[in-house]
Amino acid sequence: MNTKLYVGGIPYSANDNDLQVFFSSAGTVVSAKIINDKRTNRSKGFGFVEMSSEEEAQNAIDSLNNKEMMGRVIKVSEAKPMENRSRRF
């Protein structure tokens, strides 16, 4: 288990601070980042949260997966390393 979590289904109106506050109920949040589209700068609806320990990361998965955040149900899981993939043009 690592301390970095993938979060899907994030409301498009949410910002990094909203994500950090939401996850603080599970423990100490080291960082929270919502991924934006590079061209439009709009949220892609997913992001990453890093917790301060593996125990807190597991607690976040257990307590926040399938919970509602600002009207949308989010999915929380352990972040996986990005696989090599071809660039789209």
- Whether 84 is in a domain gets the answer no
How many domains does the chain fold into?
1
- Whether 15 is in a domain gets the answer yes
The DSSP element (H or E) to which 35 belongs, if any, is strand 29-36
Place 65 in a pLDDT band, splitting at 50, 70 and 90.
very high
- Whether 8 is in a domain gets the answer yes
Q: How far is CA 31 from CA 46, 53, 85, 87, 89, in A?
A: 14, 12, 26, 27, 31
- Whether 58 is in a domain gets the answer yes
For 52, the domain range is 4-78
Q: At what angle do helices 16-23 and 54-64 cross, to 10 degrees?
A: 100
The DSSP element (H or E) to which 17 belongs, if any, is helix 16-23
- Whether 38 is in a domain gets the answer yes
Q: What is the mean pLDDT of residues 55-65?
A: 98
DSSP state of 27: S
What pLDDT digit, counting tens, does each position of 12-30 carry?
999 999 999 999 999 999 9
> What CATH number does the domain containing 67 carry?
3.30.70.330
- Asked if pLDDT for residue 10 goes beyond 90, the answer is yes
pTM, full prediction: 0.89
Place 85 in a pLDDT band, splitting at 50, 70 and 90.
low
- Whether 68 is in a domain gets the answer yes
Residue type, 70: M
